[in-house]
Structure 1
Amino acid sequence: MTKSPFLESVRQEIRTMRYSIKTEKSYLWWIKGFILFNDKKHPNDMGNHEIERFLNHLAINRQVSSATQNQALCAIIFMYKNVIQREIKNLKYGFTKRDRAIPTVLTHEEAMQIIGNLKDKYWLIASLLYGCGLRINEALKLRVKDLNLADNTLFVFRGKGRKDRYTLLPKSLNESIKNQIEKAKLIHHKDTCEGYGLTSLPPSLIRKYGHAAKDFSWQYLFPSSIRCEHPHDGYICRHHIHETAFRKQLRQAVLKTGIAKRVKAHTFRHTFATQLLLNGTDIRTVQELLGHSDLRTTELYTHVIGSRFSHTISPFDRKVI
């Protein structure tokens, strides 16, 4: 398939600015969609009118969420600013304000019930999400070197906002983690015997670390079942399992419980935060464990547990004297 020279120039600019692979795929998808929607006109020959038509189409015909519409606009603005080198001004439609929703949380019993319906590595992934307050991509990107079973801490490398942090590692998971490490070691041993063994690293780091990337400590805790070509640097490596695999297993586990809540991987992180607050953990500590830059983000969980209304009695519960 012939690659579009223009889209390849966008890709190069995204990689030069060190955006993630996920962002790269998303931006290219939206930019391609924008071009196709406007009858394959070159973006250099388009402007505000075409951008507004596309956003209007997304909002009215596609009925996308405000977050999705913002993502599309981000991609288009990036393209014009960094590739075409033209500022887009005075758009009729700007970035839409996202609804600030109170997150869905589980009780401890509900969380453990769902986790109990998962097996093997999926059970361990869900346990780490709940027990450590991780995002799903943070759990899947864990490398063997990030786990400290001696003092029960876990290192999160380049979490959201490219921030590093430490968080809790439940002692009760030590045995399961050791078993998973042994499984990862067997896969890595097979790779090295077959002349491979390199792990997937962020772009260009293979030049810095070289064959150190074959060390077992750098391998993912949850390695993929197949080897692949690195999307940036082209070497054969082993990545971590894809989050869609976990999503499928989680969906089945939730259905088995009959719990009438919309449960996603991120729900375990929300539940981790609320359980800490319910058990008296200081909100600043919760903020640090979650890796929030702004305390107001963490304070949202106080609304979830209803601490503002803890001494308020519903009129329905008042006794008639």
Structure 2
Amino acid sequence: MKIRANNIDIEIEDTAEINPQDGDAYTRPVVLLIMGLGMQLVAWPAQFVQALVDAGFRVIRMDNRDVGLSQHFDHLYTPNLLWAGIKYKLGLPVRAPYSVTDMAADAIGVLDVLAIGQAHVVGVSMGGMIAQRVAIAAPQKVLSLTSIMSSSGAKGLPQADPAVMRALISRPANNTPEAAVDHYVKLFKAIGSPSYPTPEDEMREHILQGVQRSFHPEGTLRQMLAIVSDITRAEQLSRITCPTLVLHGKADPLVPYVHGEDTAQRIGGSRLLGMEGMGHDLPSEPVAWILDALIPHLQAAEPLPPYIATAPAPLDPSAYQVLV
């Protein structure tokens, strides 16, 4: 369903809405799932969502801005990624149509519109970056943080293999669904888990479902620029105080494992777990491993005290000099 959050239209899927016969669906602790670059809410594996529901959680998924069925931003410019990459390597500021912080505000807005005071926030890849920003911006709303195959965005961390980057920034041969599926098959094979390869027919079927739902590569480019321009997050991660779990594949060819290590080092008290043979995707075996770590992490988090906004104290006139 579509809601108006942070002044834009956001498509969400809420398990409480899907299962209205479940009498306690709206009173369950909430898990907000935030997907990665260019990916839609349907990219979360069904087994992942169902396992969280079976564990007693209300699960909310969302299409990030500019992808899927959420609001697109085609009125803004389409980035020149080559020029942006050169500026990034030279240490020059990169201007983006919107920021990761803006996307975090979208996620916070979803919780606000649904009258959810507190939630567990789980993000994959770029979604992990957004989740980190949510925890920085709205600590009173975040019961726990889970950052999966993501990064702190710190300068100097190793980058993806050039062949992987070329696959990431390449475009389909044409605008047909078949070309889009071929493009994503090549990309997912390049970044996938070497020890847990997804059969190509299964991969093609899942990709086609996503393409038929929505295909908006221009939005992916703008999201990519938002990632590159987010240069202050690493220094701000020390502000995060909620229970934090960092999960990362040790064979990730797109966001190398050291990114997960760096993220965990910057968030006090966080826990880092790595999986051998896991790349930058969510096949069934890594999903099972993630769930084995994630569900106890969510269950262990204590509810936060109710957040009460306080009015500023009255000014003491004697403390100020009146200038005429």
TM norm structure 1: 0.25
User: Which one has the largest radius of gyration?
Assistant: 1
More strand by share: 2
Instruction: Give the structure-2-normalised TM-score.
Output: 0.25
- With a CA cutoff of 8 Å and minimum separation of 6, indicate the structure with the bigger relative contact order: 2
Q: Indicate the structure with greater helix content.
A: 1
